[in-house]
Amino acid sequence: MSAYAQEDMNATPISFEAVEDGTVVTITNNNSVVLKLGLRVYTSSTEATDDVWYTVQNTNTVTLNAGNILILYSNCKDQSGNFKITASKDVYVYGNPLSLVSQADYKTMTDLSGCADGVLKELFCNGWDGNPHIKNHPTKDIVLPAMTLSKSCYYKMFQGTGLTRAPQLPAMTLANSCYNYMFWGCKDLTEAPALPATTLADACYYAMFYGCTSLTEAPALPATTLAYECYSNMFRDCTSLTTAPELPAPVLASDCYYWMFYGCKNLKYVKCLATDISANSCTNNFLGNVLSTGTFVKADGMNDWTRDYNGIPEGWTIISASEEETGINTIHNSQFIMHNDVYNMQGQRVSENYKGVVIVNGKKYVK
């Protein structure tokens, strides 16, 4: 929990606070259009340079000493894939990146639908080299207050950075590919944001947390109506994840769970309430390369799952949602009863022909 109110950060332009002397912040123009960039450096809490506006055609660098704060402005609402920002040493990043979209309106800006596609895409992305020196401030947050998004607006925004906690993502109106690869390769990320939207867009969460190997808890996924590729690759290679978020949608969409948990080598619990999995490639490699044993909770009466990596892994135990709720499982294999001691609810040993609720190896079953 940040010690600063989110409103304070909404009104704070995107800021970079150096941890060490000699920190070089490099700002690259990712666009073919020449961009204007406003820059101010605070050398102390009260002393700052005057705003300087640069013409950024290729790259500009700013050298900071420990405690110096660089803030940035621009007006790139109509341009796609504007700036890429990297640092040579650790810098704390906080404030509102929308100061790069509209200098005048960023403090209250909540609608990106009028912006160019990919307006903040790849902002801190440095390709395969990563950008590990981009760090969270101990108390001040990065904020992304937009409630309505535009296509690919946050695409690869924080790829490969050193963030441990993600900014809050309050948006309720999503756009195609809006969070696509947003935190890909953020190996230090331990806190994921809540994802409150219940109406999804195509590929909206595609590969969002791919390779976040320190993530131990996934955000809830409340949507019951899905979209093409909406969760595809979302948690791929999240090797610290043990429990999947509940998947309540009854009808799946094409490619919606495609490779969703592939490579989650410690995953051992999935609750999926789908009753229609007929859409094209909707569960391809859904649970590929996970733990060899685990528990899969399915919708009552749902018998269309295959026993493989495209469905329920062979070594996993299957129970229905009602069985999980009551704690009573259904006997599907009579040999299981015949080769174990069986007791009734009063603790009396009974025969394999007994009908009703029984206890086998300390668990309740109905037969």
pLDDT digits (tens, 9 = 90+) for 278-302: 999 999 999 999 999 999 999 999 9
Instruction: Give the 3-state secondary structure of residue 249.
Output: coil
Any bridge partners for residue 53, and if so which?
38
CA distance 212 to 235: 8
pLDDT at 35 over 80: no
**Burial of 138: CB neighbours in 10 Å, binned 0-12, 13-18, 19+:** exposed
Percent of residues, the chain, with pLDDT higher than 70: 87
Which backbone phi and psi does 168 adopt, to 5 degrees?
-65, 145
pLDDT at 338 over 60: no
- What is the total residue count of the chain? 367
Please indicate whether residue 8 or residue 31 has the higher confidence score (pLDDT).
Answer: 8
At residue 343 the predicted structure's pLDDT band, cuts being 50, 70 and 90, is: confident
Predicted pLDDT at 282: 99
**Residue 185 φ/ψ region, left for φ over 0, alpha for ψ in the -120 to 50 degree band, beta for the rest:** left
Predicted pLDDT at 91: 98
Predicted pLDDT at 145: 97
pLDDT at 178 over 70: yes
Q: Which stretch of 123-127, 141-145, 305-309, 342-346 has the lowest confidence by average pLDDT?
A: 342-346
With beta carbons less than 8 A apart as the criterion, state whether 50 and 7 touch: no
How far is C-alpha 64 from the geometric centre of its chain's CA atoms? 32
Percent of residues, the chain, with pLDDT higher than 90: 71
Q: What's the pTM?
A: 0.87
pLDDT at 339 over 90: no
CA distance 68 to 199: 42
User: For residue range 214-272, what is the model confidence (pLDDT) as tens digits?
Assistant: 999 999 999 999 999 999 999 999 999 999 999 999 999 999 999 999 999 999 999 99
Predicted pLDDT at 4: 66
Q: Which stretch of 7-11, 31-35, 179-183 has the lowest confidence by average pLDDT?
A: 31-35
Please indicate whether residue 111 or residue 32 has the higher confidence score (pLDDT).
Answer: 111
Predicted pLDDT at 351: 80
pLDDT at 306 over 70: yes
- Average pLDDT score, the chain: 90
**Burial of 229: CB neighbours in 10 Å, binned 0-12, 13-18, 19+:** buried
At residue 334 the predicted structure's pLDDT band, cuts being 50, 70 and 90, is: very low
At residue 8 the predicted structure's pLDDT band, cuts being 50, 70 and 90, is: confident
Predicted pLDDT at 333: 45
Predicted pLDDT at 362: 59
With beta carbons less than 8 A apart as the criterion, state whether 252 and 226 touch: yes
Residues in contact with 1: Cβ distance below 8 Å, sequence separation at least 6, in sequence order: none
Please indicate whether residue 306 or residue 81 has the higher confidence score (pLDDT).
Answer: 306
At residue 330 the predicted structure's pLDDT band, cuts being 50, 70 and 90, is: low
Predicted pLDDT at 340: 66
The residues spanned by each domain of the chain are: 328-367
Average pLDDT over residues 55-70: 86
Average pLDDT over residues 310-334: 79
pLDDT at 308 over 90: yes
Q: Could you tell me what percentage of the chain is helix, strand and coil, using 3-state DSSP and rounding each to the nearest 5?
A: 5, 25, 70
Predicted pLDDT at 1: 44
CA distance 277 to 290: 20
Q: Which stretch of 20-34, 76-90, 204-218, 286-300 has the lowest confidence by average pLDDT?
A: 20-34
At residue 160 the predicted structure's pLDDT band, cuts being 50, 70 and 90, is: very high
